[in-house]
Amino acid sequence: MSSSFAIGPGTEAIPLKRWEPSTPASLWHVLQVKSRHEKALAQDLITMKIDHYLPLLARVHFYGARKFRVSLPVFPGYLFVRGPIESAFAATRTRRVVRVLRIADQDLFERDIRNIQIALGQSAQLDPYPFLTEGVRVEVRTGPFRGLQGVVEAKSHADRLILQVEMLGRAVSMEMDCSLLDRIS
């Protein structure tokens, strides 16, 4: 099997032909990947000649006064493999894969993948963040508020995070960028 997909922002090469989900050679599988192993696994899959897709976003990060351009996965912790189930299981031998997830509705998944590819190809401003709903406990993972914990008050363009002082029965709220938040249990 040849690797028809590449990694890198704007360089994904998913052919825009119709795949036949009824054939085992064209089924999609989701690989749940160890934290921060997505790009390394993609490189391993290129070497193994396994068709895959890792949508990446170009972002600018600041470390102190220095500015860096980085490529981050649109879906952290996940990579998509196309082919027979054996290809997905072959990826587990890299020791970067936590588990293989099957996709029940191949047509819907393919349509979603195409939509992501089209958006990335047109340099759409995508802002991936964890699916957060009202009432979910979160923690700020980076920036000056790192370690701050609270509850999501409302979902809007800029989420509001409630900081509760439980012993006083009071709360304050602040707006927080969703991309800075991690869901906590």
**Domain formed by 137-183, architecture:** Roll (2.30)
Residue ranges, comma separated, of all CATH 3.30.70.940 domains in the chain are 24-121
Chain segment 73-85, per-residue pLDDT in tens: 988 899 999 999 9
Fold for 24-121, please state it: Alpha-Beta Plaits (3.30.70)
The two three-digit tokens of residue 49, written as one number: 């000649």
CATH 2.30.30 domain range(s) in the chain: 137-183
pTM for the model: 0.65
**Structure tokens, 179:** 């991309």
Provide the Cα torsion 61, 127, 10, 48; round to 10°: 90
Task: Give CA–CA dist 125/128, Å, rounded.
Answer: 10
pLDDT tens, position by position, 44-83: 999 999 999 999 988 877 777 888 888 989 888 999 999 9
Please name the helix (run of DSSP H) or strand (run of DSSP E) that holds residue 154, with its range, or none.
strand 149-154
The predicted-structure confidence for 124-171, as pLDDT tens digits, reads as follows 777 666 667 778 888 888 888 888 888 887 665 555 666 555 556 677
